[in-house]
A = this chain, B = another copy of it.
Amino acid sequence: MPFHTYVQQHRDHFLQELSELLRFPSVSTDPAHAESVHRCAEWLAEHLSTLSPTSVELFPTPGHPVVYATWAGPPGTPTVLIYGHYDVQPPDPLDLWESRPFEPVIRNGRIYARGATDNKGQFFAHIKAIETVLHTHGQLPLTVKFLIEGEEEIGSLHLRPFIEQHRDLLACDAVLISDTAMYQDDLPTLCYGLRGLCYLEVTVRTAATDLHSGVFGGVVDNPIFVLSHILSRLRDGYGRVTIPGFYDHVLDPTPEERQRLAELPFDAEELRRHLGAPELFGEVGYSVLERRWLRPTLDINGIVGGFTGSGAKTVLPATASAKLSMRLVPNQRADDIAAKAEAAIRALAPPTAVVDVRALHGANPVLVPLDTPPMQAAARALEQTFGRPPVFVREGGSIPVVEWFTELLRVPTVLMGFGLETEGAHAPNEHFHVKNFLRAILASATFLHEYAHAAMQQ
């Protein structure tokens, strides 16, 4: 039976199973959801064990558990390690969701839920691809190892030591990850670069306790003023980050890459309208795509201080804090940038305030080569599934694990994503297109065969 027949026959059942998976509020950053994260991992291990794996295991970590399963392929065939993450972003602001974030519903050919596209829908497609190959061909054409972690949204805190401790278990010839986006709907995409991340929290204190703004306004400094002062001076009028040394190791894009990017279909006005932005904004001197993929940025992710309820309270607050993060590009390093950012923030702190800077997490940027056998097999699998060859892009987001696989396992990583940037990852009303869920299953099954076939021909 061809893959697509099996997938069509089991479409509804696959979606029911995905809905079960999406019902777990596996929010890794929130201690209140730790139990749900754990139950999600257990559900996955049980689900994988129904697909007759060689082994399946739940590895505890100091944080959330790692789900691992493997299927041994015929002797002499290569090994592919498929990675995904079952943890999700917090769903807030809840009031902007049109349906509840952990009660998946299908509307207009899309399945809505937190985690639908990032990343449950995408890695679950690979599990269904394994099922499809097993049920249509009786066995897998190569060895598959499946690693699903529960801490991606909080910087994959315990995965690097896990990989270091389990190099033999994870040994492979290629890594396959679907946690990136297609460049456009119906345009198959392979991603060869990711930005890194450096995430900090800054806290400002100007007094021991909140004060009456009438009585003490004009006597002690205001922590929100101090924080605004610091934050607003981390960026200049040209959209550049002003942290000293921030751009020291940034690789300039080559003329070839700029040309390749310029040839991709792109409509800035359509993007602006879609995002609902009065004007697009970014670093002067670079195109929108260059700003997203090739240039580092600094964003403030959250801020809070003083009275934030409804109405007016005439308080002079004692503290204010902000979370900020920088997206990094080759060859910036997260730890170097964290140190430079902290120094810059401390240099901006006035003597009227106690300023505390804490690094929350980091990831280095990555670039992967285009000419490896697994990348070429992925390109063929996408062409067979979509009827057109893929485009090659970079992405603005970060997947720290890609750098670790590269460094610790010394194999190429294929970033074959099926999400769309318009699907609300990290935002309200996250969803995943059902047609792309089904395509992902087909492309993954095809990839396993293409890669095994190419390896045998070598």
Where the two chains meet, the residues of A that have a C-beta atom closer than 8 Å to any C-beta of B are 29-31, 89-90, 92-93, 96, 153-155, 181, 195, 197, 199, 201, 206-222, 224-225, 227-229, 231-233, 235, 239, 271-272, 275-283, 288, 291-292, 295, 297-318, 320, 322-323, 325, 327, 350-354, 360-361, 395-398, 421, 424-429
Contact = CB atoms under 8 A, between A and B. Distances in A.
A30 B221 CA distance: 28
21 contacts: A29-B312, A30-B309, A90-B309, A209-B424, A213-B327, A213-B426, A215-B396, A216-B396, A217-B292, A218-B295, A220-B277, A222-B300, A224-B302, A231-B232, A278-B351, A300-B306, A300-B317, A301-B306, A302-B313, A304-B305, A308-B323
Contacts of A314: 197, 199, 301, 325, 397-398, 426
A371 to B, nearest CB: 26
A216 B398 contact: no
Given A209-B96, A218-B291, A312-B154, A304 B303 contact: yes
A311 B90 CA distance: 10
Given A209-B424, A229-B232, A303-B306, 8 more contacts: A90-B307, A92-B309, A213-B297, A213-B327, A215-B397, A218-B292, A219-B275, A276-B318
Contacts of A318: 276
A397 B235 CA distance: 36
Contacts of A153: 313
A220 B397 contact: no
Contacts of A310: 29-31
Nearest to A212: B426
Contacts of A303: 224, 227-228, 303-306, 308, 320
Contact of A211 (B154, B207, B427): B427
Contacts of A211: 275, 426-427
A351 B279 CA distance: 6
Nearest to A273: B208
Contacts of A308: 302-304, 323
A301 to B, nearest CB: 5
Contacts of A213: 297, 299, 301, 325, 327, 426
Contacts of A317: 300-302
A177 to B, nearest CB: 15
B281 A322 contact: no
A269 to B, nearest CB: 13
A212 B118 CA distance: 11
Contacts of A222: 299-300
* 10 closest A-B pairs by CB: A208-B276, A214-B397, A29-B311, A302-B306, A218-B291, A224-B300, A221-B281, A302-B307, A228-B228, A218-B297
